[in-house]
Structure 1
Amino acid sequence: NDPLVRKKIYLNYERESNILATLRHQSIPRIYDYFMRNDRAYLVMEMVHGRDLDAILAESATFFPES
């Protein structure tokens, strides 16, 4: 609960969230906003429709090819 450590954690979260928000790729959900409330960090992300990653990986016997 050290205030200096908490401040550093928040600054790192803010920096990384800003970086994520600049990414533009069809396979990466957009980041619209980020914030902290009650000592919890939140990202507001684009809604992606489809199956979840656990289901896809459970059906796959091998790694996916890079393309």
Structure 2
Amino acid sequence: MTNVVLKVNGMSCNHCVNSIEGALKEIGVEGKVDLGEGTVAVAFDENQLTLDAVKEVIEDQGYDVA
């Protein structure tokens, strides 16, 4: 399992949290949003997904992964 903390811009409320965490869960990624820090901690299996694929899922929700 790979653990990464991503800086994500544009998150401001619980809707943002639910949107990102829900989208990540759909592809089998464990995600935890920290609004105060503006980060998303993700845990995923590199044998099944790439970090770029994880970032794309977040960006598809309308957020910018720095």
More helix by share: 1
More strand by share: 2
- When normalised by structure 1's length, the TM-score is 0.35
Larger radius of gyration: 1
